[in-house]
Structure 1
């Protein structure tokens, strides 16, 4: 699979083809706003909601959103504590039920019909919870390199990585070089894709330095996951809608035996593996977008 197949028309759309919105709500006793970026016609009933990984944000889906915008209204959320969404004052509010509740509030405010859900990593866990809950009708579910079981050793590795990685980069070149060296698991990318990936996860300060675009306090719940296996098979088994699992071929987050079991129980998902890729496929080329388009 080539990493260089970037559609230039899609790249032009990324610059100005979206609408940025915020929805106020109360979560965990706090008044917060949840931001989202949408692509395509808001009146289009064919809606796809995209949910990012634990330390990422809605901009990870810029290429996907722009690519699908002619056929879908694509809404890409910043979960609380990330991107343009509010940060919790009480850091104990950074728990999965609050994340799910906030996402459901956005969905209810922007759609009155059946929806499609896509989630990468943590976003996939949120999507599973919503699809299983039944109060929001989900037509199709796409899980990007995430399943209902994550072993404790991987949870510990994620926690260690997040604690040890640099939190501040003095300039763009340092930020770019660090990400290109240390995030190879997202799959082959050319320099333009690496630039998008790096910028999408960061915020530039007034002095030209860069920091990650999330509340540092989200580290606390990340650390809490390192204490045991993460097992939500009971939630996955409640999902009734058609599901697609996209797995990085060398992923340690979605083990091959877990992915195979996801084909045999619950929604009995379709499974597609992305070669030369770990956790998680970046969804920033036309082949990966096509996989999603065909399933939808």
Structure 2
């Protein structure tokens, strides 16, 4: 695993985008983009498996998360900013890429894949679809952006186990990995989650009701693997079924998970490896 970074430009200035990278530098690249409050380290296990097959895997921390810079204005924490930042990384790669996107990372992937001349060859959407129910957005907003302090890593891990129980039946080692890669030290002592609490502002100011991404989804032409947690409230079965009726879209339901499958379990990893390496 290598730690990398670049500077990207917004109207407000230059900011740092960080990522972890796996596999040979000359390998065919795969971009793995995490969910709303997570970091690129969520993909360590998947990235290692793909790197072992000769692929170059890049796992960025979205702006305001992980090792990437926080932004000066909470209003900047929107998908358009994330796509702009990731666009700098895509420009550096300057060629075809495969994209794995969990939740928000999938929204960004759809936005890029819907753009004329985009470089996406294959797209994995992990528990995100053309329409997100308003009730699910309300549930997520209830825990988003709370600046909680934890005395130690065990306390932070307990919080993650409660909030992210829908990730599925993870091992103790998996939960500890998520905790270790989710923690930052607070100036006054203790630990906090490794994201800017201001990411909640844009979400709270969003219009109520369902999030309709169907105009973007309708322009995605790449082959798609759509994963759905069997108990997900973010990607209803009816939405996944409708998306799966389109040619080139493969839908797979992951049992024992809600929003969103953690992609840390062997059968989930094998499913992605088979899809991403097909025809490679």
The normalised TM-score by structure 2 is 0.93
**Hey, what's the Cα distance between the residues in 2 that align with 1:178 and 1:89?**
27
From 67, 71, 87, the equivalent of 1:84 is 67
Partner of 1:181: 162
Partner of 2:39: 57
Residues 117-176 of structure 1 show CA distances to partners (whole Å, capped at 9, x for unaligned) of 01000000000000111332211000001012111111111111225x561111122122
Confirm or deny that 1:126 pairs with 2:118.
no
**Hey, what's the Cα distance between the residues in 2 that align with 1:289 and 1:29?**
39
Confirm or deny that 1:139 pairs with 2:114.
no
Provide the secondary structure at the position in 2 that maps to 1:250: coil
Residues 63-119 of structure 1 show CA distances to partners (whole Å, capped at 9, x for unaligned) of 11111112210000111111111111122222221111111111111x122110010
CA-CA distance at 1:268 after TM superposition: 4.4
**Hey, what's the Cα distance between the residues in 2 that align with 1:281 and 1:242?**
20
Partner of 1:294: 274
Residues 11-67 of structure 1 show CA distances to partners (whole Å, capped at 9, x for unaligned) of xxxxxxx111111121132210111111001111x1100110011111111111111
8 Å CA contact retained: 2:148, 2:192:
yes
Partner of 2:218: 237
Q: What are the ranges of 5 or more consecutive residues in structure 1 without an aligned counterpart?
A: 1-17
CA-CA distance at 1:228 after TM superposition: 2.5
Partner of 1:95: 78
Confirm or deny that 1:106 pairs with 2:89.
yes
**Hey, what's the Cα distance between the residues in 2 that align with 1:55 and 1:123?**
11
Provide the secondary structure at the position in 2 that maps to 1:36: strand
Partner of 2:58: 75
Q: Superposed, which structure 2 residues align to 1:1-296 within 5 Å?
A: 18-44=1-27, 46-70=28-52, 71-109=54-92, 111-162=93-144, 167-205=148-186, 209-225=190-206, 227-265=208-246, 268-296=248-276
8 Å CA contact retained: 1:153, 1:226:
no
Q: What are the ranges of 5 or more consecutive residues in structure 2 without an aligned counterpart?
A: none
The normalised TM-score by structure 1 is 0.88
**Hey, what's the Cα distance between the residues in 2 that align with 1:268 and 1:225?**
32
Runs (4 or more) in structure 1 with deviation over 6 Å come to none
**Hey, what's the Cα distance between the residues in 2 that align with 1:291 and 1:208?**
42
**Hey, what's the Cα distance between the residues in 1 that align with 2:118 and 2:33?**
16
CA-CA distance at 1:206 after TM superposition: 7.1
Partner of 1:6: none
**Hey, what's the Cα distance between the residues in 2 that align with 1:67 and 1:78?**
20
**Alpha-carbon RMSD:** 1.6
**Hey, what's the Cα distance between the residues in 1 that align with 2:243 and 2:101?**
16
CA-CA distance at 1:207 after TM superposition: 7.3
